[in-house]
Amino acid sequence: MFTDRGGVRFKSQQRNLIGFALPYGGVARPPPWVAAHLGGRRGFVGGGAYPGAVGDDIANLSKPEDRYQDLVDELIGADGVTPPRGGSGFGRSALRFQNKIFAMFVRGRLVVKLPAERVEELIAAGEGIHFDANKGTPMREWLSLDPDSARPWLALATEALDFARKPRRR
């Protein structure tokens, strides 16, 4: 079984004894045929792993940790994207593109790196605030998304990934 340095297992790497994938935290979700047998009472949010899965439009009904794990599972298949490393310290929950952080989960909020102008636009729209790494200085290219925001996480993280893919001038 694969684990990161912190011992965290990613749901794309976990299997239970029967062979069904286990989500982050090791709590099994039944496959769709079991949910159908239970009268269609699914009650869980997925990233489109099976037909009829609950989409990102109502994913705000789940816990932020679960939403972030679904986001990780969706993006780690992209070319050059690596999953969170775990452990301790800054960036332990971060998604990286060629070793550059573009999205992370900090203090119960999605944090993404976007162009400074875009961050200002989202803040003006009430979608979040500047992220600061507990140093008291807001980071101009980092947005900490408001937990009550209706903005889809996958779209925002994909926008951050596109920004990370652009070459930078030094």
Q: Do 68 and 23 contact (CB within 8 A), yes or no?
A: no
Q: Quick one: pLDDT at residue 41? A: 44
The DSSP element (H or E) to which 75 belongs, if any, is helix 64-75
Q: How would residue 54 be classed by pLDDT, with cut points 50, 70 and 90?
A: very low
Give the mean model confidence (pLDDT) for residues 87-114: 89
Q: Is the pLDDT of residue 112 over 90?
A: yes
First vs last C-alpha separation in the chain: 41
| Cβ-Cβ contacts under 8 Å for 30 (sequence gap 6 or more) | 20, 38
| Cβ-Cβ contacts under 8 Å for 105 (sequence gap 6 or more) | 64, 65, 68, 93, 111
Q: How would residue 91 be classed by pLDDT, with cut points 50, 70 and 90?
A: confident
What percentage of the chain exceeds 70 in pLDDT?
63
Q: How would residue 127 be classed by pLDDT, with cut points 50, 70 and 90?
A: very high
CATH assignment of 60-165, given 3.40.1690.10, 3.40.50.720, 3.40.50.2000, 3.90.1150.30? 3.90.1150.30
CA 45, distance to chain mean position in Å, is 13
Tell me which amino acid residue 111 is. V
Show me where the domains of the chain are located. 60-165
Q: Rounded CA gap, 27 and 22, in Å?
A: 6
Concatenate the DSSP letters of all residues of 32-73 into one string.
HHHHHHTTS------SSSSTT---GGGGGGS-HHHHHHHHHH
